[in-house]
Amino acid sequence: MAVPDRDTVLVVSSKFRLQWEPAQQAYVLLYAEGMIKLNSSAAEVLKRLDGTRTLAAVIDDLQRQFPKAAVENDVKEFVNVAHDQGWISFKQPA
């Protein structure tokens, strides 16, 4: 699957719930069959996927938070993988 364009809105799939898990000391994606422990980079991206932000907005926000890092390509790569795994959905802006 191709990476969505910068105007595509991103949202965590309704099959998953993103939350901080104290026992894991990490953010996780919870789903009916279990849990996926996320690394800090994945969590930073997923925390921003509220169903209103575009890919461009997510990238811009992360770039402001981490000004010394070149985040765009990493975010696009993660978004592609997360979508292929069914963790996130794409929708066109209204």
Show the domains of the chain with their CATH numbers.
Answer: 9-91 (1.10.10.1150)
Residue 13 has pLDDT above 70, yes or no: yes
Instruction: Report pLDDT for 94.
Output: 63
Instruction: Report pLDDT for 93.
Output: 66
What value does the mean pLDDT take over residues 2-19?
91
Dihedral pair phi/psi, residue 67, rounded to 5°? -65, -20
Residue 1 has pLDDT above 60, yes or no: no
What value does the mean pLDDT take over residues 25-48?
96
Instruction: Report pLDDT for 91.
Output: 84
For the chain, give the mean pLDDT.
93
